[in-house]
Amino acid sequence: MRNLDAVNNPYGEDKVISACAIFGMMDVSGECFSGSQILEAMENMQERGNGLGAGFAVYGIYPENPEEYAFHIMFTSVSGRSETEEFLNLRCFVERSEEIPTRTLGRKDEPVVYRYFVSPKQKFDSAVDEDDYIAAIALQINSEIPDAFVFSSGKNMGVFKGVGFPGDIYQFFALENYAGYIWIAHSRFPTNTQAWWGGAHPFCMLDWAVVHNGELSSYGANRAYLETEGYKCTLFTDTEVMAYAIDLLMRRHGLSPELFADVVAAPLWIEIDRMNDNDRALHIALRSTYGGLLMNGPFAIVVANRNMMMALTDRIRLRPLTCGTKGNKVFFSSEEASIRLVAPELDNVWTPMGGVPVISRLGELPTPESSTLRDFECCAEVPR
């Protein structure tokens, strides 16, 4: 087996801050399509990764079980699987379970992967409580059961990821057999954590999945804040805290994608000071309440759930992001060239402003105008 440290950093002792590649594609009409174009786009950015991690999240792939939570779980031992299944059967109705079809890559580190379509045995008055119950189960498996890792837990969606280039993961999971109306993808160049199957992107909590290019220097503060909210950060990677912040802010606390962006990529205080009274009060409250979730450092992310796809960069755009549309299709990518490879003639193509989310919802295309200006009145007065 190759020495992972040498593959990760062939340049000796100097730390390598490399690129990573992210790509997202959505059909806002809800029509499902294959992942062939996503793979083509990712392979065009192969130099941004080094084969130590890649993955895909796909929405709309389980129409036969749309209301059950689809747990994708990696096992590295028989005992891990049996303990997990006993744990699930105590807490959930398991409507369907099966090994996920895979093709071997011929490597010793390949896990066995199963999927379980579950619903809670406990009755709830609201979907929020049900989501909290299922999220707690996923977190408990990941933190307490050895040799088992839940890497996907949403409804009518699935994450497929591991150690390899995007083409390797596409082949391993036989993704040519799936179709979805949203695909997001990632190719990883890990800089701070050892490459392993569960540590690849996307990171997922329930319906929410995220792919990330960059490095959060605020990881420690972000992790400390999230652990006060009940999250167990076991992966020691900054993208894990980004995924949990998405879950906390947008699912549990009900913030809009725009307000989520104003927490993790917060306006400068000079901008807040120049806002009108209502906006100033709102942003002071956001900074006071969620200061521990301000994300410092370079990042570009693509986030998805069953109803939308969103792209966002840090405030000063230290990582690249390009957006495009063609008909009902929306594209987010690290490079414009990859978008044009699969859609040469675009209706729109643009670079969004740092800290401003680009949001594509079912039935709604984003526009360049929606993501090139901040949404508060003081924008024009702030020096750029």
pLDDT of 134 = 96
The residue type at 71: F
pLDDT of 376 = 45
Q: Per-domain residue ranges for the chain?
A: 17-61+156-381
Q: Match 């890649």 to its residue by tokens.
A: 54
pLDDT of 17 = 53
**CATH assignment, 17-61+156-381:** 3.60.20.10
Report if pTM > 0.85.
yes
**What is the sign of the dihedral through the CA atoms of 34, 109, 301 and 227?**
positive
Contact 33, 365 (CB under 8 A): no
Contact 263, 355 (CB under 8 A): no
Q: Mind listing the pLDDT tens digit of every residue in the chain (384 residues)? A: 334 444 444 545 455 555 699 999 999 999 999 999 999 999 999 989 888 899 999 999 999 999 999 999 999 999 999 999 999 999 999 999 999 999 999 988 899 999 999 999 988 877 778 999 999 999 999 999 999 999 999 999 999 999 999 999 999 999 999 999 999 999 976 556 667 888 889 999 999 999 999 888 999 999 999 999 999 888 778 889 999 999 999 999 999 999 999 999 999 999 999 999 999 999 999 999 999 999 999 999 999 999 999 999 999 999 999 999 999 999 999 999 999 999 999 999 999 999 999 999 999 999 998 766 555 444 433 333
Q: Match 């079912």 to its residue by tokens.
A: 362
Q: E-strand spans in the chain?
A: 21-27, 33-34, 54-59, 69-75, 92-99, 112-120, 148-152, 157-162, 179-180, 182-187, 203-205, 208-214, 299-305, 308-313, 322-326, 329-333, 348-350, 358-361
pLDDT of 4 = 43
For 37, 52, 89, the CA distances from 6, given in Å and listed in that order, are 32, 11, 42
- The CA distance from 247 to 87, in Å, is 23
Q: Say if residue 360 is exposed, middle or buried (CB neighbours under 10 Å; 0-12, 13-18, 19+).
A: buried
State the catalytic residues. Answer: 20
- Backbone torsions φ then ψ of 262, nearest 5 degrees: -75, -10
